[in-house]
């Protein structure tokens, strides 16, 4: 809390006026972030044709994951979640759970419309989010992950999108084609 207060330019006591501790402060940061993220993802993928919506969602989530705050927040979360299991559950519900539910809704609509093969939308959504998050982690550390060197942001997101559409393709169709 001392480091946070110093960076914010306030006293440690001032922080405690608003937050009972590090855990509560972390929850509020996550709540604020997830509210903005969900609004951004929802507006990027408004109701419409499922393949178009899914493409827009993938690009919007990728853009957020490749933003300047994701890498730092991801490292912080990974470091702190082991020490604070309640925060781990909170993160799973507030960010992972809500983002996954939003994409599951799009995939479910696609299954119902016949645009995607029969899949469990929640499971497919977890896979999509996992692919995007892991690729974003790698892309933030290209100097370590040499298999990404030389690949532009556009190429990376299109590789994921192409893989997802092939995985969701109705048998006998080309899943990789579709909106870009």
Fold topology of 21-168: Tetracycline Repressor; domain 2 (1.10.357)
Cα-based distances in Å from 158 to 38, 164, 178 = 22, 10, 11
Q: What is the pLDDT of residues 79-128, one digit of tens each?
A: 777 777 777 777 777 777 888 999 999 999 999 999 999 999 999 999 99
Q: Output 108 or 4, whichever has higher pLDDT.
A: 108
Please report, to the nearest 10 degrees, the dihedral formed by the alpha carbons of residues 79, 85, 91, 93 taken in order: 160
Residue with tokens 């912080």: 76
Average pLDDT, the chain: 84
Q: Contact, 30 vs 90, CB < 8 A?
A: yes
DSSP string, 57-78: HHHHHHHHHTSTTHHHHHHHHH
What is the DSSP secondary-structure string of 124-152? HHHHHHHHHHHHHHHHHTTTT-GGGTT--
Q: What is the pLDDT of residues 141-180, one digit of tens each?
A: 888 888 888 889 899 999 999 999 999 999 865 555 555 5
What letter would DSSP give residue 80?
H
pLDDT at 145: 86
Beta strands in the chain (DSSP E): none
Residue whose pair of structure tokens reads 């997101």 in the numeric block: 157
């Amino acid at each position: 809390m001392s480091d946070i207060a110093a960076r914010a330019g306030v006293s440690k006591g001032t922080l405690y006026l608003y937050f009972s501790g590090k855990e509560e402060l972390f929850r509020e940061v996550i709540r604020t972030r997830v509210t903005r993220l969900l609004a951004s993802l929802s507006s990027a993928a408004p109701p419409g044709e499922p393949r178009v919506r899914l493409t827009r969602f993938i690009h919007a989530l990728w853009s957020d994951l490749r933003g300047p705050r994701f890498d730092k927040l991801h490292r912080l979360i990974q470091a702190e979640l082991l020490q604070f299991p309640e925060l781990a559950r909170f993160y799973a519900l507030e960010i992972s759970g809500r983002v996954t539910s939003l994409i599951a809704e799009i995939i479910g609509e696609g299954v119902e419309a016949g645009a995607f093969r029969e899949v469990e939308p929640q499971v497919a959504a977890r896979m999509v989010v996992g692919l995007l998050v892991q690729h974003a982690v790698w892309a933030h550390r290209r100097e370590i992950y040499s298999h990404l060197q030389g690949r532009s942001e556009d190429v990376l997101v299109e590789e994921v999108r192409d893989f997802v559409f092939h995985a969701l393709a109705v048998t006998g169709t080309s899943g990789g084609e579709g909106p870009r």
